[in-house]
Structure 1
Amino acid sequence: MIKKLAINFSSLTALQISNYIIPLITFPYLVRVLGPTNFGLANFAFAFLVYFNTVIEFGFNFSSTREIAQSKGDKDKINHLFNLTFFSKIILLIPISILYFILISVFSFFSENFLIYTIAYFSIIGNLLFPVWFFQGIEKMYYITIFNIVFRVIGVVFIFLFVVKEEDLIIYLVITSGVLLLTGVSSIYYILRQKLVDLTLPKYESIKQHLREGFNLFSSQYLIMLYTTSNTFILGLISGSAAVGFFTGADKIRSAVQNVGGIAGQTIFPHISNLFRDQKALAIKFLNKYIIVIGIPAFLLSTSLFLFSEELILLILGKQYLNSVQILKWLAYLPFIIFLSNIFGIQYMLGQGFDSEFRKIISVGAIMNLILLIILVPLYGAEGTAASMFSTEIVITLLTFIFFIRHKNEI
């Protein structure tokens, strides 16, 4: 068990290097070459797409991961779950795509950059085809790592070769969406070639039932998306692309630090789900140790992020992003705060099946964040967005912690 966790942790560590550290090589280059406005426009386009992508994901990264992890040894059931999830996502893609193209065609805010939003759209197809939930469920995360690293390294090379001036925004979007699309196509090809599953269309009634069962978790994930992605989206609508550029620049640095803890969280979720099914007391003991082992480094990293905000902004983003310093200070302790909410919310509540209760907590956070954004963004712009994000995460963490304290002794 420990060996498998170590392998999965190492694989996800390498994956996050691909997802965050390797792009950090290109990040300082891109923010300078594209400039705050075009860099902000690209991030606004991808933020807008998250509203649609989250519907297609439908919480499967947790629900299907959990179900597959709890079906070990039952190849037929795993095969059935794969097909249910994969074809459910394809069915969801159809109306979502129609709605997306109607919006970017009808509203001038989007239609004036129609090509940008069209190219970015293909990232949705790539995400659909890349079954992270399957590889996590069978706890063979090195497959995820291989596919990601190969294509992301190619993407990095292409960015340095072909994105050389501010007008190369379209080329950057083609490379970014292309990497995701090729990763997804290659992973599906590998799964079928290796006969890890047999691709068969499930009955429509089975798909409907699968979607119905996952609705609580989906609504929780969508609400999470609303209070995270809406930060960028509402900021862009009110304050423009340059403000999004300053905010996103700081937030990318925060995300890179935060994903140190995120790796461990992704690794242990299937394991925790199994423990809660069979050995609940052991699961709580495991989480208590995990809080100490990962929590202390997460706190120290957040503190360093706060203390050296200006130095990091100047080093990574450059002088033209000095407006991002105060934003980063607001975001600095989020890696530690979100680590705690992951423990109490994702690992404990979802791991034990408290999907509905988790959704209610996230609803409180989403409503609070929306109210704060409406008040703070017109007054303080990107800093107001960061302050709203910080306040919301504090409240969600406190609510999940209270739930954890009240219920952990019921085991």
Structure 2
Amino acid sequence: MKNLYLRYKTQIKNFSSLSILNFFNFVFSFITFPYIVRVIGVEKFGLINFAAAFVAYFGLLTDYGFSWSATQLVSLNRNEKLKLDKNYSSVISIKIFLIILSVILLSIIIFSIDFFRNDYQLYYLSFLFVVGTTFFPNWFFQGIEKMGYIASITIIFRALSVIAIFVFITEPSDYLLLVGINGVTTLIIGLFAMVFIQWKFNIKFIIPNLNEVKVYLNYSWDYFITNIGISFYTNTNTFILGLFASNTVVGYWAAADKIRNAITII
């Protein structure tokens, strides 16, 4: 048994770290979900979830399948420092470009369509979550099989955000602040993780050339298309419902969906 543990020690640690992270994410959601719905109301809860579903499409674009493809590349090159630097730098550079493109597209949609312009602050605040998730290099940690760092970083900042929610969210008009807290927390986690990688693993940022960028875009294309297909049955329901139904209906739908997910996890 000891030999078996030593053989799969890294895999066991990574699995344990992910399990701990998922457990705490469940606990944090379980604690805050009833409070949020009670304080801001079902209507605002529905509006927030519709906005999250909308900006999630930009999250697909900024991820561009790198959560899969970049993990493979980092895993293959984990012992070759220069290649690892190039992997990290190329992926981050592409993501920065895709974030800029997404902001432009988001702004065009918001200010061209009244439906979105009426709540433009909400959509921009919701987009902070996309930016934070985009910058969070989970693919790097997965590739080098050091998932414990992800768990520690995320749990600490998420715990602080839970405290902030109970302290500052006290009435329905605080719904924008709620989105801001979640968005800023995600952004801080992402930026902190990037700084941590460069400090802990001495990763250097190397500006990629155009040919390198093309190689990474082509390599990740199939993963990107696959993620788009997956999103049609994980994200589209809430978005489509929000286009044709009231925020209250979306709120009840989102609440029921969260309860269903919680029961599934249990």
What range is the shorter-chain TM-score in?
Answer: over 0.9
Question: What do the CA deviations read for 1:295-328 (whole angstroms, capped 9, x no partner)?
Answer: xxxxxx5xxxxxxxxxxxxxxxxxxxxxxxxxxx
Are 2:208 and 1:227 equivalent residues in the alignment? no
Equivalent of residue 242 in structure 1, options 235, 238, 248 = 248
Q: Which amino acid aligns with 1:56?
A: T
Specify the alignment match of 2:111 in structure 1: 105
Moved more, 135-144 or 245-254: 245-254
TM-fit CA distance, 1:57: 0.1
Specify the alignment match of 1:42 in structure 2: 48
Distance in 1, Cα, partners of 2:192 & 2:210: 27
TM-fit CA distance, 1:208: 1.3
Specify the alignment match of 1:10 in structure 2: 16
Normalized against structure 2, the TM-score is what? 0.93
Specify the alignment match of 1:178 in structure 2: 184
Tell me, which stretches of 5 or more residues in structure 2 are unaligned? 1-6
When the two chains are superposed, the root-mean-square deviation of aligned CA atoms in Å is: 1.5
Specify the alignment match of 1:395 in structure 2: none
1:301-340 mapped onto 2 (5 Å cutoff): none
Specify the alignment match of 2:198 in structure 1: 192
Specify the alignment match of 1:333 in structure 2: none
Question: What do the CA deviations read for 1:167-199 (whole angstroms, capped 9, x no partner)?
Answer: 110110111111101101111111122244111
TM-fit CA distance, 1:120: 1.2
1:229-308 mapped onto 2 (5 Å cutoff): 229-258=235-264
Distance in 2, Cα, partners of 1:220 & 1:27: 31
SS in 2 for 1:223: helix
Tell me, which stretches of 5 or more residues in structure 1 are unaligned? 261-300, 302-411
Question: What do the CA deviations read for 1:73-130 (whole angstroms, capped 9, x no partner)?
Answer: 2232222211121111112122211010111112111111111111111112211211
Distance in 2, Cα, partners of 1:174 & 1:18: 21
Question: What do the CA deviations read for 1:267-322 (whole angstroms, capped 9, x no partner)?
Answer: xxxxxxxxxxxxxxxxxxxxxxxxxxxxxxxxxx5xxxxxxxxxxxxxxxxxxxxx
Q: Which amino acid aligns with 2:257?
A: D
Question: What do the CA deviations read for 1:133-181 (whole angstroms, capped 9, x no partner)?
Answer: 1101111001111111111001000000111111110110111111101
Specify the alignment match of 1:26 in structure 2: 32
Equivalent of residue 64 in structure 1, options 65, 70, 76 = 70
> Would you say the 8 A contact 1:38–1:169 is kept in 2?
yes
Distance in 2, Cα, partners of 1:68 & 1:193: 17
Are 2:83 and 1:74 equivalent residues in the alignment? no
Normalized against structure 1, the TM-score is what? 0.61
> Would you say the 8 A contact 2:32–2:162 is kept in 1?
yes
Specify the alignment match of 1:144 in structure 2: 150
TM-fit CA distance, 1:257: 4.8
Q: Structure 1 residues 256, 2: CA separation in 2 closer, same or farther (over 3 Å shift)? A: farther
> Would you say the 8 A contact 1:18–1:148 is kept in 2?
no
Q: Which has the higher contact order (CA 8 A, sep 6+)?
A: 2
Distance in 2, Cα, partners of 1:87 & 1:257: 39
**Radius of gyration: which is bigger?**
1
Are 2:122 and 1:116 equivalent residues in the alignment? yes
Q: Which amino acid aligns with 1:20?
A: F
Distance in 1, Cα, partners of 2:261 & 2:106: 27
Question: What do the CA deviations read for 1:2-40 (whole angstroms, capped 9, x no partner)?
Answer: 211211111111211333321211011111111111001
SS in 2 for 1:214: helix
Distance in 1, Cα, partners of 2:195 & 2:79: 23
> Would you say the 8 A contact 1:21–1:256 is kept in 2?
no
Distance in 1, Cα, partners of 2:141 & 2:128: 22
State the aligned residue count.
260
> Would you say the 8 A contact 1:79–1:198 is kept in 2?
yes
Specify the alignment match of 1:168 in structure 2: 174
